[in-house]
Amino acid sequence: MTEISLTPETRICVTGGDGFLGRHLVSLLETSGYRDVFVPRIEDYDLKDITDIRRMYDDSGAEVVIHLAAVVGGIGANRENPGRFFYENAIMGLQLIEEARLRGVSKFVALGTICAYPKFTKVPFREEDLWKGYPEETNAPYGLAKKMLLVQSQAYRDQYGFNSIFLLPVNLYGPGDNFNPASSHVIPALIKKCIDAADAGAESITVWGTGKATREFFFVEDAARGILLATELYNDPDPVNLGAGFEISIRDLVGLIVELTGYRGRIEWDSSKPDGQPRRMLDTARARERFGFKATTDFRAGLRKTIEYYRSTLRDRS
């Protein structure tokens, strides 16, 4: 297997580079001195179509691919689209990796998801636990589709000497997040709900579940930095968690967002709706040991930045 040392001239292709995480990563690549960063936008390339994938590789001349593109959403979107989420995420990744191998791409960075972990994984989640059970049912199709890219990466490394690494980021949040109620994750959904309710003078808001489930949240700028470090420095077959290494209950998260947004109404819990996976928190030691990554953003500070983004950028469009 040939390992690549990245230089400012290295041709890097970032799928999903125009999305939430992608925009932060592309900005970081550019400020870090990389001069040839190619972003295949969805309007120009359908990454489910092998013809468009081949054209993307022709146009980019990529030496390194960072695959962020995904079809993703919160619990509701996962429940409504299990087949679509499985097929589209699987077919994108499988074909992108195969075509990269055929073209001699020097390095492929595949982004997985914490949804790939078994439903009742012992906290904190360690990479060794990845195969010790079935994922939480509401997001299993998405999680398993992404997990197959780890299998493919390791199989291609063994048979072809193909350098593909696999990263497992925890739930992201931050400026630029998706605030669409039909597809957003919990933090942007709650921020929008609280601010919009305060603006409307609503007496209460309703939150899904019981509030007992726990989650770990990872500021998007930290995530971009972790991905860049792995792209530059990590070349091993083992999957690597990327996260902040803390856990908060949804009930406490709601209380914190209510406090930071200034919403003063009641919180009503709809326990007929699913909580999702009972607990989530990553062991992040491997990232620290293998390529020196550690998250640095304080959670309250990250939430304030995200709230300010919604207020200053999106509030008037809602």
Neighbours of 181 (CB within 10 A): 14
Q: How many angstroms separate the CA atoms of 60 and 69, rounded?
A: 16
R_g over Cα of the chain: 19
* Nearest C-alpha neighbor of 100 from the set 34, 224, 11: 11
Q: Which amino acid is at 100?
A: A
H-helix or E-strand spanning residue 97: helix 82-103
Give the CA distances from residue 199 to residues 184, 193, 194, 300, in Å, rounded to whole numbers and listed in that order.
20, 10, 9, 22
CB 21 within 8 A of CB 48: no
The set of residues, in sequence order, having a beta carbon less than 8 Å from that of 149 and lying 6+ positions away, is 67, 93, 94, 97, 110, 112, 166
**Strand pairing class (266-270; 217-219):** unpaired
**Strand pairing class (248-249; 214-215):** antiparallel
What HEC string does 151-194 produce?
HHHHHHHHHHCCCEEEEEECEEECCCCCCCCCCCCHHHHHHHHH
Active-site choice (34, 45, 57, 142): 142
> Quick check: is 117 catalytic?
no
* Residues carrying an active site annotation: 142
